[in-house]
């Protein structure tokens, strides 16, 4: 083992890498080196305890993150050929492939990507519209609720996906529809039921799994076949999970079934960065981890190695306005060299011009364009930069939403659109009344998620941070940034 490798870790990282507790919750703040901890722990298990790579399951949320972990492990000299470092869906795909010949599952099954899922569901709706009653009910519903067909499709797709992640079957949906008092909500659920049924029948006929069914089929096998669950519990002695703050109910259930009392479970995440509630992620899973596993060891990675001290301290103060969180003290490794810039513009146009002009000046001073990032809560507030910057000879490829920037960083970050109201930040879009039978709305929880999104946006910045708002219409989050860390600019 490379003796100097552990010496490069701080105390929190070292504890997370070397702990022998069978249940570990590692709270890794922004810029705390969690990828280093995960890869080093795997390396440590293989080298120190002679754990075979095939007995380790490392779960990530993206293929890019999995590739990054495998690259780092290979650079350490680890044999990664038999190591399972995969996304949840990739792991389920591999399991289903391995058991398909034994469990009457066609080995020729395919997995539908997002484009294919959309195409199949739209075809189902088109075929159902050939039925006069369905077409009449659909058109009446859309007209009476002032929806478009695209909006209906979007809400139907989200609801079906949420039903699957919450294990709500077609029969369950029928029962829910019976209990609904609101006529419009009941009619919507009836329409969704017919589309859901047609969609599932078509998937079965085509021998295709969508991502949700892929996971749920593996969960079903693990729940109902002890030989399958026993096999994988024995294989995966050590299970490590990245970004645990974003797991949903079905992903947690999968982990429970793979992890027996004899397995080791190591989860790493940060409740302050849980921002995927819109796709089923539930921060309560990381908040309640110690309730589920009372004997677990909780380890905090306290240092932010990415951002200027003022950014770290200001962001930490903002996020502490959330009521449901795991209290922790995050320390800045870097000193406080510069103030956060709060830019108060007369209107959006002037704010946009300030961003464009400032970027031009930064580039002239030698800042590379790849070291500059423009973030918005929605594409609506940042589309203007995609159009205008190329006209100025600036090929600015780092313009994205906050969700798109998760896991990234830049020396200079602009957060645009920090104003109140529609399209602003916070951006809370209430569920439609008729969809609440499945998707319950809690406005306070949504506000707290918006604050976490703002925290993630702030902590992408390494050196300089600009918050772009409007005079007399500033976001509540701007007001939560302590004035001791900022300087004000009017334009």
Cα separation, 195 vs 361, in Å, equals 54
Share of the chain above pLDDT 90, in %: 66
Q: What are phi and psi of 395, to 5 degrees?
A: -90, 75
Query: Residue 443 above 60 pLDDT?
Result: yes
With 50 as the cut, is the pLDDT of residue 353 above it?
yes
Over pLDDT 70: what percentage of the chain? Answer: 96
Q: Mean pLDDT check: name the lowest of 25-39, 184-198, 228-242.
A: 184-198
Q: Which of 289-298, 341-350, 441-450 has the lowest mean pLDDT?
A: 441-450
More confident residue, 181 or 14: 14
Average the pLDDT over 172-196 and give the result.
Answer: 82
Distance between CA atoms of 363 and 359, rounded to whole angstroms?
6
Q: What's the mean pLDDT in 76-88?
A: 86
Tokens of 338: 């510069």
**pLDDT at residue number 435:** 58
Residues 6+ apart with CB under 8 A from 477: 318, 418, 425, 426, 450, 451, 454
What is the model's pLDDT at position 1?
A: 46
Question: Could you read off the pLDDT of 145-170 as tens digits, one per residue?
Answer: 888 999 899 889 988 988 888 888 88
**Residue 440 has what pLDDT?**
58
Q: Which residue has the tokens 């996906």?
A: 161
pLDDT of residue 79: 79
pLDDT of 430 above 70: no
Region of poorest pLDDT, from 144-148, 238-242, 347-351: 144-148
pLDDT, one tens digit per residue, over 267-294 is: 999 999 999 987 888 999 999 999 999 9
- What string of H, E and C letters represents the secondary structure of the chain? CCHHHHHCCCHHHHHHHHCCCCEEEEEECCCCCHHHHHHHHHHHHHHHCCCCHHHEEEEECCHHHHHHHHHHHHHCCCCCCCCEEEEHHHHHHHHHHHHCCCCCCCCCCEECCHHHHHHHHHHHHHHHCCCHHHHHHHHHHHHHCCCCHHHHHHHHHHHHHHHHHCCCCHHHHHHHHHHCCCHHHHHHHHHHHHHHHHHHHHHHHHCEECHHHHHHHHHHHHHHCHHHHHHHHHHCCEEEECCHHHCCHHHHHHHHHHCCCCCEEEEEECHHHCCCHHHCCCCHHHHCHHHHCCCCEEEEECEECCCCHHHHHHHHHHHCCCCCCCCCCCEECCCCCCCEEEEEECCHHHHHHHHHHHHHHHHHCCCCHHHEEEEECCHHHCHHHHHHHHHHCCCCCCEEECHHHCCCCEEEEEEEEEECCCCCCCCCCCCCHHHCCCCCCCHHHHHHHHHHHHHHHHCCEEEEEEEEEECCCECHHHHCCCHHHEEEEEC
The answer for residues whose C-beta is within 8 angstroms of residue 295's C-beta and 6 or more apart is: 21, 23
Amino acid 170: pLDDT:
83
Copy the structure tokens of residue 119.
């195409």
Report the 10 Å Cβ neighbour count for 196: 22
Q: What pLDDT sits at residue 434?
A: 54
Give CA–CA dist 134/139, Å, rounded: 8
pLDDT given at position 401: 95
Of 135, 146, 176, 142, the closest CA to residue 156 belongs to 142
pLDDT in tens, 117-137: 999 999 999 999 999 999 999
CA distance 419 to 377: 11
Q: Which two tokens stand for residue 12?
A: 């929190």
Query: Is a pLDDT exceeding 90 seen at residue 82?
Result: no
CA distances from 93 to 69, 217, 221, 231, 323 (A): 20, 10, 13, 16, 38
Q: How confident is the model over 388-409, as a mean pLDDT?
A: 89
Mean pLDDT over each residue of the chain, to the nearest integer: 90
22-36 average pLDDT score = 94
Predicted TM-score of the model (pTM): 0.89
CA distances from 177 to 100, 159, 189, 259, 370 (A): 35, 13, 6, 36, 51
Q: Note the pLDDT of residue 428.
A: 78
| Beta-bridge partner residues of 23 | 265
- pLDDT the model gives residue 163: 87
Pairing outcome for strands 303-304 and 331-332: parallel
**pLDDT for 431 beyond 60:** no
Which pLDDT tens digit goes with each residue over 214-227?
A: 999 999 999 999 99
């Amino acid at each position: 083992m490379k003796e100097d490798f552990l010496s490069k870790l701080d105390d929190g990282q070292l504890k997370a890498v070397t702990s022998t507790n069978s249940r570990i919750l590692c709270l890794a703040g922004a810029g705390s080196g969690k990828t280093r901890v995960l890869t080093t722990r795997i390396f440590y298990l293989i080298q120190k305890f002679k754990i075979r790579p095939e007995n380790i399951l490392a779960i990530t949320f993206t293929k890019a993150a999995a590739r990054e972990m495998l690259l780092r492990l290979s650079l350490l000299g680890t044999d990664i050929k038999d190591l399972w470092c995969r996304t949840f869906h990739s792991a389920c795909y591999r399991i289903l492939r391995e058991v398909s010949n034994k469990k009457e599952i066609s080995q020729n099954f395919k997995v539908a990507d997002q484009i294919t899922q959309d195409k199949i569901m739209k075809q189902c709706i088109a075929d159902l519209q050939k039925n006069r009653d369905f077409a009449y009910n659909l058109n009446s519903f859309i007209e009476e609720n002032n929806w478009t067909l695209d909006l209906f499709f979007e809400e139907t797709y989200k609801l079906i996906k949420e039903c699957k992640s919450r294990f709500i079957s077609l029969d369950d949906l029928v029962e829910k529809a019976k209990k609904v008092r609101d006529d419009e909500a009941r009619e919507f659920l009836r329409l969704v039921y017919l589309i859901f049924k047609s969609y599932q029948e078509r998937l079965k006929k085509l021998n295709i799994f969508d991502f949700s069914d892929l996971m749920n089929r593996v969960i079903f096998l693990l729940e109902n076949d002890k030989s399958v669950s026993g096999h994988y519990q024995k294989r995966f002695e050590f299970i490590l999970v990245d970004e645990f703050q974003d797991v949903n109910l079905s992903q947690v259930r999968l982990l429970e079934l793979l992890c027996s009392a004899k397995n080791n479970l190591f989860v790493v995440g940060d409740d302050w960065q849980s921002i995927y509630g819109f796709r089923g992620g539930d921060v309560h899973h990381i908040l309640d981890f110690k309730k589920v596993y009372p004997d677990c060891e909780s380890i905090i990675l306290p240092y932010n190695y990415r951002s200027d001290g003022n950014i770290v301290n200001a962001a930490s103060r903002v996020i502490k306005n959330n009521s449901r969180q795991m209290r922790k003290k995050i320390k800045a490794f870097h000193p406080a060299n510069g103030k956060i810039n709060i830019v108060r513009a007369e209107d959006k146009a002037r704010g946009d011009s300030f961003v464009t002009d400032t970027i031009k000046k930064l580039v002239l001073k030698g800042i590379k364009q790849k070291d500059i990032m423009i973030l918005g809560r929605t594409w609506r507030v940042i589309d203007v930069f995609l159009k205008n910057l190329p006209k100025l000879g600036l090929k600015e490829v780092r313009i994205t939403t906050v969700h798109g920037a998760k896991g990234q960083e830049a020396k200079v970050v602009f957060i645009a659109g920090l104003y109140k109201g529609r399209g602003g930040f916070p951006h809370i879009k209430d569920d439609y009344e008729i969809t609440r039978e499945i998707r319950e709305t809690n406005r306070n929880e949504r506000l707290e998620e918006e604050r976490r999104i703002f925290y993630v946006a702030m902590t992408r910045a390494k050196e300089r941070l600009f918050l772009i708002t409007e005079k007399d219409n500033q976001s509540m989050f701007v007001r939560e940034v302590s004035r001791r860390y900022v300087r004000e600019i009017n334009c």
